[in-house]
């Protein structure tokens, strides 16, 4: 769908992030969900530091993105937003009650079971890569990842999607989470998971959402970016 300034649906996103984060910021999950259900939306871009100011904290108490607003509700947390979109519009949740519950189950599984160890990998290899404790932690982190991915691989089996042939919000979030370590040789060790992730990112809705997110980023960092990144590193 086209990004539409007149849409009653508004999301927030960062105007600039470091290159390694582009394509990973979690407004991508919300954009993808909106594409899958065929809804136009407006994007409010936040400049560096604006996400920590009172106007945005009124939407998101933790000063992060994304947030979502429509005519009925203002929400934060990408998982909650995707669930709201899936419940409000057709296309991401099955009509059958039991199948719907299973799809929601996979949404929670993606965020609560699979994402934490993958984010630990990002921390030890990227955000805290220079810290003395990071490299010693890495084998434990990778072992935990493989425990979870092997379990997920066994459960997926030869299914096209997590609950069979139909793509759901559970798949949307699971593929989004697996992408955190795309190309790192982790998911790729499991043939069916790699194929599953590839099916997800081949969907037209994902491609459009990713292209729109990437096109919205400023091409050069703002003047205050160096100071901000230095403070972030000191705070870790």
Per-residue pLDDT for the chain (236 aa), expressed as one digit of tens each?
Answer: 668 888 999 999 999 999 999 999 999 999 999 999 999 999 999 998 999 999 999 999 999 999 999 999 999 999 999 999 999 999 999 999 999 999 999 999 999 999 999 999 999 998 898 899 999 999 999 999 999 999 999 999 999 999 988 999 999 999 999 999 999 999 999 999 999 999 999 999 999 999 999 999 998 888 766 665 555 554 44
Quick one: 205 exposed, middle or buried, by C-beta within 10 A (0-12, 13-18, 19+)?
A: buried
C-alpha–C-alpha distance, residues 74 and 60, integer Å: 9
CA dihedral 4, 81, 163, 154 (to 10 degrees): 120
pTM for the complete prediction?
0.93
Domains parsed from the chain with CATH numbers: 10-91+206-235 (3.40.30.10), 97-202 (1.20.1050.10)
C-alpha–C-alpha distance, residues 99 and 103, integer Å: 6
Largest CA distance in the chain: 52
Q: In what order do the strands lie in the sheet with 74-76?
A: 42-46, 10-14, 67-69, 74-76
């Amino acid at each position: 769908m086209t990004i539409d300034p007149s849409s009653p649906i508004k999301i927030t996103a960062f105007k600039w992030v470091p290159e390694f984060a582009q394509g990973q910021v979690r407004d991508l999950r919300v954009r993808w969900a909106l594409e899958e259900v065929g809804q136009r939306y407006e994007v409010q871009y936040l400049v560096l530091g604006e996400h920590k100011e009172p106007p945005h904290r009124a939407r998101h108490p933790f000063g992060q993105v994304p947030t979502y607003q429509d005519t009925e509700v203002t929400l934060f947390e990408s998982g909650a937003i995707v669930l709201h979109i899936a419940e409000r519009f057709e296309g991401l949740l099955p009509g059958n009650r039991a199948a719907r519950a299973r799809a929601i189950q996979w949404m929670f599984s993606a965020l609560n079971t699979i994402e934490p160890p993958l984010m630990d990998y990002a921390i030890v290899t990227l955000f805290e890569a220079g810290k003395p404790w990071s490299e010693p932690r890495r084998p434990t982190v990778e072992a935990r990842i493989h425990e979870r991915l092997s379990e997920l691989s066994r459960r997926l089996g030869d299914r096209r999607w997590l609950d069979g042939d139909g793509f759901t919000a559970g798949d949307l979030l699971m593929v989004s989470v697996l992408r955190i370590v795309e190309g790192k040789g982790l998911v790729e060790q499991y043939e069916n998971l790699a194929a599953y992730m590839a099916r997800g990112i081949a969907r037209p809705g994902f491609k459009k959402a990713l292209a729109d997110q990437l096109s919205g980023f400023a091409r050069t960092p703002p003047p205050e970016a160096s100071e901000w990144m230095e403070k972030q590193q000191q705070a870790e």
